Structure 1
Amino acid sequence: MKLKKKFNGLAVPSITPLTSDYKLDHGAVEKIFDNFYNNGSVPFILGTTGEASSMSMALKTEFIELSGKLKQAGTLLYAGISSNCVAESVEMAKISADAGVDAVVATVPSYFALTEGEIKSYFEHLADASPCPVIIYNIPATTHVSIPLTLLDELSHHENIVGTKDSERSIERLDQSLALWKDRQDFSHYLGWAAQSAHAMLNGSDGLVPSTGNLCPDIYNEMMQAVERGDAAAAHALQVLSDTLGGLYQSGRLLGGSLGALKSLMQSRGLCQPYVMPPLQRVTEADAVLLEQNLQSIVAKEHINLPSYQ
């Protein structure tokens, strides 16, 4: 039987909704979180999808504090604290703890090339100083380093390091990770590679962190329910749907460009405005129209029930 761990489930890496003058859109945050909570998911704010690397400390603090106020009783709240400055990450961890965040998520600092010893020392220092449990976030696409599994396994025994979120595109690494940690009650594995969501959950991962969940979290909620009842066919069918929707805004775009396209799709459902933080740019009006048309075609074909906050 699969272990039921404290840190598990569907944690959507929330976009950071912005106004035209790059301020936090409080009304949009409320709608986005409502969509999460109504569809079996919880927010993970200030990650890659949240454009955290482009945000000021003031905006991050505002988002953390608002998220804490909107947090539903009995649910988990995750906040990213990644920074090249460890003191800033520690300060964000303290702000997060005060706001009711359950766990903070951090990548490797990405400016200097680091040795394994430096990576280990960094996370130990962060975990020692953080009042919140720490989840280590492996994302070579942005940090340009893959944290070795042997090192992650060493760090997994630190009393304040409770899990990893892994977005690396490697089936071999994924399967090795699950073999290491699926039976560890004190350490959770979250997958940040949406294309392998069904595979991961069917083989013992503890949770999913899919950016497409900003638009339709119910797909992943249904997938996790299918896994719980042992319906692999249903889980894989939902994986195909996830791939189709993800490709809609990701295909042919860089990671940053996909975020503008995702916000455009969310705008079409009344969830947010299309603005992204510089240096990223919003999609053109022509692209926005095409994105919405393609979304409607998929919705009609697959009979998807998308949220509407118009």
Structure 2
Amino acid sequence: MKIQKKYKGTVVPLVTPLTARYELDEGAVERIVHNLYNNEAMPFILGTTGESASLPAALKQSFIKKTAALKQAGTDFYVGISGNCFEESVELAKTSLDAGAAAVAATLPTYYHLSEEQMKDYFVSLAEAVNGPLIIYNIPATTHMSIPLELIEELSYHEHIVGTKDSERNDGRLERSLELWSKREDFSHFLGWAAKSAYALLNGGDGLIPSTGNVAPEIYCEMTKAVVAGDTEKAYYYQHLSDTLGNVYQSGRTLGESLRALKVLMQENGLCEAHMMSPLGALHERDEQNLIKAYYQLLQQESTAFKQPTHA
């Protein structure tokens, strides 16, 4: 029997919906968050997908407040506090936890390359200053550093460090992570590598953090149900849908370009507009047209699996 943990499930790293004046689009936040809750998923705001490094402090505060106001009974939300200024991360964490966040998540600071000892000192200091549930977020694509698994294992026994989100694409690392933590009642493993979602869940992973869930959270809802039911074939069918949709907006694009492409698809679904915070911006017009065309071709091919765009 799988251990029931406090921190688990599909936690979607939300885009930050913006108006044409680069302010928080609160109506879009409502639509996106309700769509998640309707598909048994939870929001994770102010992460990589949410352009957190580019957002002003006031907008972050507004996003936390709005997300907290939308929280429903029996649901959770998570907040990213990553940054290069320790005190600002601590302040953001306290604001988030006071607002009702289940936990906060932090990457390493990104300006300096850190030794393993410096990584350890950073997370211990952060956990003690936050004085609440903290998730260690490993994402070498943006930090250009990989947090060693054995260091996370050591840190996992700190009273305030409750889990890890791992976005590193490494099969051996995933296998070792599942060995270390799938049976730990007090520490959770969230996977941020969408291509291995079904595999992780079938082999003891606690949760997923898939950016594709912004536009189609139903994929991960149904995948999780299939895993619980022991239907491996169906779980991998939804993995195929996740891979295919992810390729539509990610393949051949940089991370920043893929985030714009994701917002374009969300705009097609009536969830938010596609505005990006500087330095990210629009794709070439032809690229966006080809993106939308490929998206609708996928919807036509898999018409029974995806919810149709509302254009609301």
TM-score, scaled relative to structure 1: 0.98
Once the two structures are TM-superposed, the CA of residue 44 in structure 1 deviates from its matched residue by 0.3
Q: Which runs of 4+ in 1 moved over 6 A?
A: none
What residue in structure 2 maps to residue 37 of structure 1?
37
1:216·1:306 contact (CA, 8 Å) conserved in 2? no
Q: Secondary structure at the match of 2:286?
A: helix
What residue in structure 2 maps to residue 305 of structure 1?
307
- Mapped to 2, the partners of 1:294 and 1:112 lie a distance apart of 40
Cα deviations by residue, 1:232-274 (Å, 9 ceiling, x for unpaired) = 1111111111000000000010001100000001001111011
1:97·1:131 contact (CA, 8 Å) conserved in 2? no
Tell whether 2:200 aligns with 1:195.
Answer: no
Residue type matched to 2:134 in 1? Answer: V
- Mapped to 1, the partners of 2:152 and 2:310 lie a distance apart of 41
- Mapped to 2, the partners of 1:167 and 1:61 lie a distance apart of 26
- Mapped to 1, the partners of 2:152 and 2:309 lie a distance apart of 38
What residue in structure 1 maps to residue 27 of structure 2?
27
What residue in structure 2 maps to residue 246 of structure 1?
246
Q: Secondary structure at the match of 2:137?
A: strand
Matches within 5 A, 1:49-68: 49-68=49-68
Once the two structures are TM-superposed, the CA of residue 309 in structure 1 deviates from its matched residue by 5.2
Residue type matched to 1:174 in 2? Answer: L
Q: Secondary structure at the match of 1:3?
A: coil
Cα deviations by residue, 1:201-233 (Å, 9 ceiling, x for unpaired) = 111100000000000000011001100111111
Once the two structures are TM-superposed, the CA of residue 57 in structure 1 deviates from its matched residue by 1.2
Structure 2: gaps spanning 5 or more residues: none
What residue in structure 2 maps to residue 158 of structure 1?
158
Residue type matched to 1:308 in 2? Answer: T
Q: Secondary structure at the match of 1:91?
A: helix
- Mapped to 1, the partners of 2:214 and 2:308 lie a distance apart of 11
1:219·1:238 contact (CA, 8 Å) conserved in 2? yes
- Mapped to 2, the partners of 1:309 and 1:112 lie a distance apart of 44
2:134·2:163 contact (CA, 8 Å) conserved in 1? yes
Once the two structures are TM-superposed, the CA of residue 132 in structure 1 deviates from its matched residue by 2.8
What residue in structure 2 maps to residue 274 of structure 1?
274
Matches within 5 A, 1:89-128: 89-128=89-128
What residue in structure 2 maps to residue 178 of structure 1?
178
1:82·1:89 contact (CA, 8 Å) conserved in 2? yes
Residue type matched to 2:310 in 1? Answer: S
Q: Secondary structure at the match of 2:275?
A: coil
Tell whether 2:206 aligns with 1:215.
Answer: no
1:213·1:220 contact (CA, 8 Å) conserved in 2? yes
2:82·2:106 contact (CA, 8 Å) conserved in 1? yes
1:45·1:78 contact (CA, 8 Å) conserved in 2? yes
- Mapped to 2, the partners of 1:208 and 1:307 lie a distance apart of 24
> Over aligned residues, Cα RMSD in angstroms?
0.9
Residue type matched to 1:129 in 2? Answer: A
Cα deviations by residue, 1:175-205 (Å, 9 ceiling, x for unpaired) = 0000000000000000000000011111110
Residue type matched to 1:16 in 2? Answer: T
Once the two structures are TM-superposed, the CA of residue 73 in structure 1 deviates from its matched residue by 1.2
Tell whether 2:15 aligns with 1:2.
Answer: no
- Mapped to 1, the partners of 2:14 and 2:112 lie a distance apart of 28
Residue type matched to 2:88 in 1? Answer: E
Count of paired positions: 310
- Mapped to 2, the partners of 1:189 and 1:248 lie a distance apart of 27
Once the two structures are TM-superposed, the CA of residue 307 in structure 1 deviates from its matched residue by 4.9
What residue in structure 2 maps to residue 136 of structure 1?
136
Q: Secondary structure at the match of 2:296?
A: helix
Residue type matched to 2:273 in 1? Answer: Q
Structure 1: gaps spanning 5 or more residues: none
- Mapped to 1, the partners of 2:17 and 2:297 lie a distance apart of 26
Once the two structures are TM-superposed, the CA of residue 285 in structure 1 deviates from its matched residue by 3.5
Once the two structures are TM-superposed, the CA of residue 97 in structure 1 deviates from its matched residue by 1.3
1:31·1:309 contact (CA, 8 Å) conserved in 2? no
